[in-house]
Structure 1
Amino acid sequence: MVGSRRGEHTVTVTYRMAGHYTKPAKLSFTAEANKNYQLDFVTDIGTAWLSKDSYADIWIKDKATGQPVTEVVRTTPPPAPRTISYPVIINN
């Protein structure tokens, strides 16, 4: 995210990886002119097969300082049923 437009911004994000995903999360922050921002996250999704306590913590940080500019928002997978798919490669 390049901060060429200053002011209040709200983004809606979700974590998606290899068929795993979370519910959308909203992050709001006040952008300053000529600053760069980065979306960051930590997750335990995919570390235990269909664990009930999976999450993704998502936030936005100032790239120059590494300091968060939003609160950390925890988002979780939607309630079951959910479909997890994996690609199948067949070599002939």
Structure 2
Amino acid sequence: MTDTATTSWLLMLVQVPSEPSRHRVAVWREMRCFGAVPVGHGAWTAPDVPSWREGAGAARDRSNRSKDVFVTESAERADQELSACAAVLEDFAGYVYRELHS
């Protein structure tokens, strides 16, 4: 787990055209595969750690088409409540990973 005083987060903003839907669904699946959590329409978040950053890169590669937009930003927060949320997110990501790979 990360330091409880500072947690760094990835914020990914994804825009994929609605048609054909298979491209959009492929990006969503890639995002869920590495444990990103949707926080709004086209916005996803995950802790900023190397393995999850690699997953974000794979999702960006999947969406690498001329009309797609994929932006990744890192945001640091010095907040203990956010660290508690990270623990919950980590547990959830583990659950999702086990479900996808079982």
Q: TM-score range by the shorter chain?
A: under 0.3
- Larger Cα-atom Rg: 1
State the TM-score, normalized to the length of structure 1.
0.27
**TM superposition score normalised by structure 2:** 0.25
Select the structure that is richer in helix.
2
More strand by share: 1
More RCO (CA 8 Å, sep 6+): 2
